Chain A
Amino acid sequence: MATWESLIPVAGVTLRLAAVTTAVLLAAGTPLAWWLARRTGFAKDVIASVVALPLVLPPTVLGFYLLLLLGPWGPVGGALTALGMDSLAFTFSGIVVGSVVYSLPFVVQPLQVAFEAVGTRPLEAAATLRAGPLDRFFTVAAPLARPGFLTATVLGFAHTIGEFGVVLMVGGSIPGRTRVLSIAIFEHVEASEYGQAHVIAAGMLGFSLLVLIALHGLTRRLRGEAP
């Protein structure tokens, strides 16, 4: 029988995973989204499709390949073991990598849409006012794309919290390290502990709903603030 206390490490791992994943995705996804927003042509189509893959692929497929890639015999895992480090399979770092790949479109796409909506004119105006490329990005593009950053953060975070297949494939379900809430629900159901499954499932349902309501409200305020 799981108790409330046994839920705490699971929730802890889940929140830590979502926070780290979202941070990594914002750092890596922003330049990627910026590049996609300002490009046309074949290269853009290919990269945009790769970014969108997690939307259509079964998470187990992603998880399977990531496991091969990150495991001790895979190219990444093998390189790490050769350097005297652990491979990433069945580790927290491993599920972060898996989650980053899995949630990539949920961060990159809202950012890309927001950057496209900014358009070229404000950036051209900034260039005629002596702002260099980085300066233009941080003082014009980023502030104007603020609603996109908010959406990307919330979706990336919420989507990572709800993840199951990739984490299970790459991380297994090691208590305190890689067991997350969605896996805990699955295991409770397998053990016929419907009561515990209910507690977590209802909690996640409520959390997701609250997050989305807050997102809508915030976006509306952001849009209204700068007329």
Chain B
Amino acid sequence: MSTGIEARFALTRESFALDVAFAAPGRGICGLFGASGAGKTTVLRCIAGLERARGLCRVNGRTWQDEAGVFLPTHRRPLGYVFQEASLFPHLSVRGNLEYGWRRIPPAQRRIGFDDAVAWLGLRPLLERWPGTLSGGERQRAAIARALLTSPDLLLADEPLTGLDESSKAEILPYLDRLHDELDLPILYVTHSLDEISRIAEHLVVLREGRVLGSGPVAELMTRVDLPLSHRDDASAIVAATVASVDETYGLVELAFGGGALWVPGESQARGRPVRVRVFARDVSLTRVRPEQTSILNVLDVVVREVVHDRPGQALVRVEAGGVPLLARITAKSEARLQIGPGVACYAQIKGVALLA
């Protein structure tokens, strides 16, 4: 039995053509990323069987659709779907909504307990309320619980945070993060927000105009200079690290990763805890000589891998610290003066590191 998600769809509409093929791991959160109109939602709808495209869809060894004519209708696919607008049934209470899918699953197939889902998503005080009386964040939490209660093999989430205010977003992201930790449930997550991708995705599929531009681990795809992610103003690298030590005096935490250590502001944390940090390209500068007297805490030994000129007077440099990719945004003048080019060993000074989880 092969694990993972295999998808291939072709679809032609009046103003839009979709032609995608990708594979994603059978666990963890996979982001489907792209601008609006890239076909992200259409891909998700094809996987759910809500849209009928030519192609193939296999999830953890089970065929949902293939070219030989197999096409399971949506209600026979063991999936959960969280729509952009929560789409709770307005004629049912929150409890009624949660029970809708739950009741349709044979008890022997239920892997997620009703009370557990209610507790995880903090819904106990809302159970008897009507969807119309909930806030956007509460509605989306109920929609996530409703989808989970069908004990799906795959959770599809279509921009579940779009349209929510910042506090509601901050309220829901940790829940999504916990889902795949605690439930071992693969999630396909559609978004156009690089910020959300940075926080929760492990794998990434980048779409543009109905086609796949790239697919792979998020740390790799975000730093690939041939993909649009690395050319945005908020271009950044994702570094997976573990807590190595805590400096109580200065309120700093040392995070160790393959390319050395990073110091970030933080409070006492358990050693060995896995964390994820985001390093923006605009916060990374390069020097040929190890800076000794500098206010910048984080200096890493790096090797230049690629240099591209994507903006007038500027260069984007992909470097590696012990194999871990980072991006640096520098001026073309500095590039020339420091003779930055592939294979050059230098030092990356990192002005700021965002601790994500």
The size bracket of the interface on B is 20 to 34
Contact with B along A127-139 (1 / 0, CB 8 A): 1111110011001
Q: Is the interface of A mostly helix, strand, loop or mixed?
A: helix
Q: Report how far A131 CA is from B104 CA in the complex, Å.
A: 7
Give the residues from 139 to 169 in chain A that come closer than 8 angstroms, CB to CB, to chain B.
Answer: 139-140, 143-144, 146
Q: Is the CB of A144 within 8 A of B90?
A: yes
Q: Considering residues B80, B81, B88, B133, which has the most beta carbons from chain A within 10 angstroms of its beta carbon?
A: B81
Q: Is A204 an interface position by the 8 A CB rule?
A: no
Judged by a CB distance under 8 angstroms, whether B79 is at the interface is yes
Q: How far is the CA of A135 from the CA of B147 in the complex (A)?
A: 17
Closest to A136 in B: B75
B35 located at the interface, meaning its Cβ lies under 8 Å from any Cβ of chain A in the complex: no
The complex places the Cα of A146 from the Cα of B88 at a distance, in Å, of 17
B313 within 8 A of A: no
Interface string of A29-45 (1 = CB under 8 A from B): 00000000000000000
Neighbouring B residues of A227 by C-beta, 8 Å: 90, 130, 132-133
Check if A129 sits within 8 Å of B101, measured CB to CB. Answer: yes
Q: Do the beta carbons of B75 and A130 come within 8 Å of each other?
A: yes
Contact (Cβ within 8 A) B75 A140: no
Evaluate contact between A130 and B150: CB separation under 8 angstroms.
yes
Docked Cα-Cα span, A127 to B48, in Å, equals 9
B133 touches A127 (CB 8 A): no
A125 is contacted by which of B49, B79, B83 (Cβ under 8 Å)?
B83
Q: List chain B residues, Cβ under 8 A from A125.
A: 81, 83, 87-89
A127 touches B87 (CB 8 A): no
Contact B104 A121 (CB under 8 A): no
Cβ-closest chain B residue relative to A125: B87
Asked if A1 is at the interface (CB within 8 A of a chain B CB), the reply is no
A140 partner residues in chain B, CB cutoff 8 A: 89
Closest residue of B by beta carbon distance from A140: B89
A122 interfacial by beta-carbon distance below 8 Å? yes
Bound complex: CA of A139 vs CA of B91, how far in Å? 10
| Cβ-based interface call for B100 (8 A) | yes
Complex partner residue of B90 from A127, A130, A226, CB under 8 angstroms: A226
Number of interface residues of A (CB under 8 A): 20
Q: Which residues of B contact A122 (CB under 8 A)?
A: 87, 89-90
Asked if residues B91 and A226 are in contact (CB atoms below 8 Å), the reply is yes
Chain B residues with CB under 8 A of A128 = 48, 50, 74-75, 79-81, 101, 147, 150
Q: What are the interface flags for B285-309 relative to A under an 8 Å C-beta threshold, 1 for contact and 0 otherwise?
A: 0000000000000000000000000
Cβ-neighbour of B83 out of A121, A135, A136, A226 (below 8 A) = A121
B40-91 residues at the A interface, CB under 8 angstroms: 48-50, 73-76, 79-81, 83, 85, 87-91
Closest to A225 in B: B91
Q: Say yes or no: is A193 at the interface (Cβ < 8 Å to chain B).
A: no
Residues in chain B near residue A136, CB distance under 8 A: 75
B132 partner residues in chain A, CB cutoff 8 A: 226-227
14 A-B pairs with C-beta separation under 8 A: A124-B74, A124-B87, A125-B87, A127-B50, A127-B74, A128-B75, A128-B79, A128-B80, A130-B101, A130-B105, A135-B75, A144-B89, A146-B91, A227-B130
Interface residues of B (CB under 8 A from A): 48-50, 73-76, 79-81, 83, 85, 87-91, 100-101, 104-105, 130, 132-133, 146-147, 150
A129-B150, A140-B89 provided; 15 other pairs, C-beta below 8 A?
A125-B89, A126-B89, A126-B100, A127-B49, A127-B50, A127-B73, A128-B48, A128-B150, A129-B146, A131-B104, A132-B73, A135-B104, A146-B91, A226-B90, A227-B133
* 7 tightest Cβ-Cβ pairs between the two chains A and B: A129-B101, A227-B132, A128-B81, A127-B74, A130-B104, A125-B87, A226-B91
